[in-house]
Amino acid sequence: MCDNDRRRDDTPTEGETYVLSKAILFDLDGTLLQTQIHSCKAAHETLRALHLPDVSDELVMRQIGEPADVFLRAIAPGYPDLAAFETLYDANEREALKQSGKLYNGVPELLAALQQRGYQLAICSNGSRDYVETALEATGIRRFFSRLACAGEHPDKTAAVSYILREWNCDLAVMVGDRVHDREAAEQNSLPFIAAEYGYGGEELTCSVYRARNPLEILQLLDQIVKDML
């Protein structure tokens, strides 16, 4: 954990070296995970099993990162039993994740570099805990994250970010995500925000100050954020 015992206004005593406590809060889908690979497959399989009209991959991709009810209503508009649809979709998605879950290029190297630099890492996702745990285990990056904030555990992403910040009490925390919900959660918690332009947000995040074209650019942007804060 970050240094909960040291307050931000603490100063080191003589002979003591102050170590900045810092954290990165990551969205998952479209930020670390190439979600369309398993989500599109799960959507097609679920619609086919229920004899519903299929949808395009583009429609599915536009909904990635939205809360579950928004996502499901977009791919199965008017279906009368959304709970049953969600149960089948979730099962198909978990299986697809285990078989073909894939990170963006550079993500393992990014997380290893952040850990080496002393950052605590958290996930703040609109996915369920079961989904997030499955994704992290399937892609081999679970060990990097000491906190997960998932759908259903907090009222919304803003509250999830706030919870982690209160728990860690870091000197520096940054939010990274690919959708407007992520930026809003950062802004409402007074955090710097890095937009993952390679994700699914499209033009939602074009006005963001810090924008990463690939995961490894996040390292350079963190250095810039620190400089800008001095």
Does 4 fall in a domain?
A: no
Cβ(35)–Cβ(29) under 8 Å?
yes
Q: Which helix (H) or strand (E) holds 216?
A: none
Cβ(49)–Cβ(87) under 8 Å?
no
- Both 41 and 127 in a single domain? no
**Total count of domains within the chain:** 2
- Both 44 and 109 in a single domain? no
Beta bridge partners of 177: 195
- Both 162 and 114 in a single domain? yes
CATH number at residue 84: 1.10.150
Structural domain containing residue 121: 22-34+104-229
With pLDDT > 90 as the criterion, what percentage of the chain qualifies? Answer: 79
How far is the C-alpha of 213 from the C-alpha of 132, rounded, in Å? 24
- Both 62 and 118 in a single domain? no
Does 80 fall in a domain?
A: yes
CATH number at residue 212: 3.40.50.1000
- Taking 60 as the threshold, does the pLDDT of residue 17 lie above it? no
- 65 pLDDT band, cuts 50/70/90, is confident
- Both 136 and 161 in a single domain? yes
Does 149 fall in a domain?
A: yes
- Both 126 and 198 in a single domain? yes
- Both 46 and 153 in a single domain? no
Does 44 fall in a domain?
A: yes
pTM for this predicted structure: 0.87
The pairing of strands 147-149 and 210-212 is unpaired
Q: Which of 154, 150, 159, 98 is nearest to 129 (CA)?
A: 150
- Taking 60 as the threshold, does the pLDDT of residue 3 lie above it? no
Cβ(145)–Cβ(152) under 8 Å?
no
- Both 30 and 125 in a single domain? yes
Alpha-carbon Rg of the chain, whole angstroms?
19
**Which pLDDT does position 170 carry in this prediction?**
85
- Both 113 and 196 in a single domain? yes
